[in-house]
Amino acid sequence: HRHLLGIEPLAPADITTLLDLSDQYVDLNRSARKHTETLAGLTQINMFFENSTRTQASFELAGQRLGADVMNMAMQASSIKKGETLIDTALTLNAMHPDLLVVRHPHSGAVDLLSQKVRCAVLNAGDGRHEHPTQALLDALTIRRAKGRLHRLSIAICGDIAHSRVARSNILLLGKMENRVRLVGPPTLMPARIGEFGVEVYEDMREGLKDVDVVMMLRLQRERMDGGFIPSEREYFHRFGLDTEKLAFAKEDAIVMHPGPMNRGVEIDGEIADDINRSVIQEQVEMGVAVRMAAMDILARNLREARARERKVMA
């Protein structure tokens, strides 16, 4: 693959290869050294047209630990504010010869469009409601390390599925790896054409969580609810928030996940989020750095090979 735009084009073997390499980067990150020269001589530009804490910080750290020259574009201060189009911004950056471009954008498909205009590897850091591939990969790594496998698990994804690129990428990835995926939440927050996803749908949390191995909670994405259903926080927590009573329906050793940012007391009880025996939320953040290192390592190898082939053809 030349880019990482989504989970959709990946084969199960691609996912396994990336997670195996990520395991090696977890070890490196836990060591005193934390550093390699894998991306030495390469330039990584991070362009975030939407807010981010985890994804931007971990892509930046991942690039630095791999020895790349890393630049964060300050999009709030950029000429986008003066009316420059996404494509013109991309062409301007392209002229600076980046090797890796990490992009988050509020519109579904914008990152794909941009990838067609530049001569470097593009990594999707989240586009609209479409995909957030590195999030699904870091979730998969967290699950594989906690459960010892990434197949034949029962996984409940709960909350605002309709507006969530995290849910979409996870549904695709977990399905490809032959897991049983349940979606739990109010019907108003389920995507249209849910039947196409090969998942089970539940409106009742207790039924949806019954005997699952993994409980993945999502926040209400109010910024994407344009005038539609917006539940009150109290009512939402009562019916769909993860608390001890509802979690008791899952398997005794079920893990609790959340991609962040988390709204305590809305979709998850703060005590569960902090319970180190159940919650793997901090592990997810740790895995995020390793997965992004692995993804950039693989794409940089592919890029170097493609450029070497081009040079051979030109010679």
The pattern of x and - marking residues 38 through 67 that bind ligand CP according to CB under 6 A reads --------------xxxx------------
Question: For residues 265 and 27, what is the distance between their CA atoms, to the nearest angstrom?
Answer: 34
Taking Cα atoms as reference points, which of 162, 152, 214, 154 lies closest to residue 185? 162
Taking Cα atoms as reference points, which of 136, 140, 116 lies closest to residue 126? 136
The residue (of 54 and 107) whose beta carbon lies closer to ligand CP is 54
The residue (of 132 and 249) whose beta carbon lies closer to ligand CP is 132
- The CA-CA-CA angle for residues 29, 32, 34, to 5°, reads 35
Q: Which residue reads 């190898």 in tokens?
A: 301
The pattern of x and - marking residues 231 through 250 that bind ligand CP according to CB under 6 A reads --------------------
Q: CB under 6 A: which stretch of 19-27, 77-85, 256-264, 267-275 binds ligand CP?
A: 256-264
Contact 12, 172 (CB under 8 A): no
260 is in an annotated binding site: yes
Q: Which residue reads 């070497």 in tokens?
A: 308
168 is in an annotated binding site: no
C-alpha 158 chain-centroid distance: 16
C-alpha 85 chain-centroid distance: 26
Min dist CB 54 to ligand CP, Å, is 4
Taking phi over 0 as left and psi of -120 to 50 as alpha, with beta for the rest, 41 belongs to left
The residue count of the chain comes to: 315
Three-state DSSP at 281 gives: helix
Min dist CB 88 to ligand CP, Å, is 26
Q: Which residue is nearest to ligand CP (CB)?
A: 55
Could you tell me the two tokens for 9? Answer: 């084009």
Per CB under 6 A, does 72 bind ligand CP? Answer: no
Per CB under 6 A, does 135 bind ligand CP? Answer: yes
By CB under 6 A, the residues from 111 to 130 that bind ligand CP are: 126
Three-state DSSP at 108 gives: coil
Q: Which residue reads 């794409």 in tokens?
A: 299
The residue (of 208 and 259) whose beta carbon lies closer to ligand CP is 259
Min dist CB 125 to ligand CP, Å, is 7
Q: CB under 6 A: which stretch of 64-72, 148-156, 239-247, 257-265 binds ligand CP?
A: 257-265
Per CB under 6 A, does 260 bind ligand CP? Answer: yes
The residue (of 46 and 179) whose beta carbon lies closer to ligand CP is 46
Question: For residues 44 and 60, what is the distance between their CA atoms, to the nearest angstrom?
Answer: 9
Question: For residues 284 and 148, what is the distance between their CA atoms, to the nearest angstrom?
Answer: 15
Q: Which residue reads 């599925």 in tokens?
A: 161
The residue (of 102 and 190) whose beta carbon lies closer to ligand CP is 102
Min dist CB 234 to ligand CP, Å, is 25
Per CB under 6 A, does 16 bind ligand CP? Answer: no
Min dist CB 171 to ligand CP, Å, is 16
**Residues tagged in the binding site annotation for L-aspartate:** 82, 165, 219
Q: Which residues bind ligand CP (CB under 6 A)?
A: 52-55, 126, 135, 259-261
